[in-house]
Structure 1
Amino acid sequence: MTEVLFYHLQGRTIEQVLPPLLEKSLARGWRVVVQAGSEERADALDGHLWTYRDDSFLPHATWRVPDAPQQPILLTAEDSNPNAASVRFLLDSAALPADAESYDRMVLLFDGDDDDAVAMARDAWKQCKARGFDVTYWQADAEGRWQRRQ
């Protein structure tokens, strides 16, 4: 069954939250595809993941590279899975993929200060529940640690 995690961002950006989540995914041996809302956003994240921390390396590429199928983390603006990932991150109100059932896990990051993003997340939650996915909702506590909420 596909597990869908909803991460409610408040006071933190995707650029702050995404790298540690990707590091955890790689540590678990998962292949990941990250779907941004636009090609420009995917390119900006590509640059960010190379420089977000001096002492870390996240092996990744964009969907444009010839060896995209071999990449452990692939950034895209498309509804595809070129690297046969089992985990998909959805950013910038990206819609659930048509093949959502093929993923072990999907992670939807949304800005809690953006009314449109919250509405989209609520709609995605309803869609996921209707499709029988295991959904959970996460929000950071005062120390920035993710806590599962009811």
Structure 2
Amino acid sequence: MTRIDFYVLPDSDPAGRLRAACKLTLKGWQHDMPVFIRCQDEQQCDTLDELLWSFRSERFIPHDLHQDNPQTPVAIGLEQAPGHPQGLLINLGATLSPHVDQFSRVIEIVNQQPELLARCRENFRHYRQRGYAPQRLDL
């Protein structure tokens, strides 16, 4: 069964959420997991694409937008199905991905913005209703 983790950040900085996504992407990729980063919109896709280029100057994370190369080790997209089965989904979208069952692991990144907290609590409930056992991890 897919492992679901909610990583909870201590602040409300939206940029911190994207930095956490980059760190978790690097960890997943270093452990030979294909990574799909599901963004909330095209603008966030572009922002994350740029951030991954500059995130670690000493380490290149091979990535691309899903629409340009779905087979890349790290794909950034929206509602697309993953190019690689059983990888890691980092969900920055507001709702559950329709492709949750195609991943071995899902990470939701939560910060202290009230509207994001409410959405993530709802996602947590939805995962439980679908039979998953989501876990909370404070960062």
Relative to the length of structure 1, the TM-score reads 0.83
Change (3 A) 1:4 1:82: closer
Partner of residue 72, structure 1: 73
Q: Considering Cα pairs closer than 8 Å and 6+ residues apart, tell me whether 1 or 2 has the greater RCO.
A: 2
Partner of residue 22, structure 1: 25
1:38 deviates by: 0.8
Partner of residue 127, structure 1: 126
3-state SS of 2:32 partner: coil
1:99 deviates by: 2.5
Change (3 A) 1:41 1:27: same
Q: Percent identity?
A: 22
1:42 aligned partner, one-letter code: C
1:64 deviates by: 2.6
Contact 1:33 1:81 in 2 (8 A): no
Deviations 1:102-137 (A, max 9, x none): 21111111222x111101111111111111113110
3-state SS of 1:81 partner: coil
Q: Which runs of 5+ in 2 are unaligned?
A: none
Partner of residue 96, structure 1: 96
Alignment of 1:2-17 (within 5 A): 2-11=2-11, 13-17=16-20
Partners of 2:57 and 2:31 lie apart in 1 by 22
Partners of 1:100 and 1:83 lie apart in 2 by 13
Contact 2:94 2:120 in 1 (8 A): no
1:80 aligned partner, one-letter code: Q
TM superposition outliers: structure 1 runs of 4+ over 4 Å: none
Tell me whether 95-104 or 32-41 shows the greater mean CA deviation. 95-104
Relative to the length of structure 2, the TM-score reads 0.89
3-state SS of 2:43 partner: helix
Deviations 1:67-106 (A, max 9, x none): x132010001x21124224211111x43111232221111
2:64 aligned partner, one-letter code: A
Contact 1:26 1:72 in 2 (8 A): yes
Contact 1:2 1:105 in 2 (8 A): yes
3-state SS of 2:108 partner: strand
Partners of 1:94 and 1:73 lie apart in 2 by 20
Partner of residue 107, structure 2: 107
3-state SS of 2:45 partner: helix
Q: Kindly report the root-mean-square deviation, in angstroms, between the aligned alpha carbons of the 2 structures.
A: 1.5
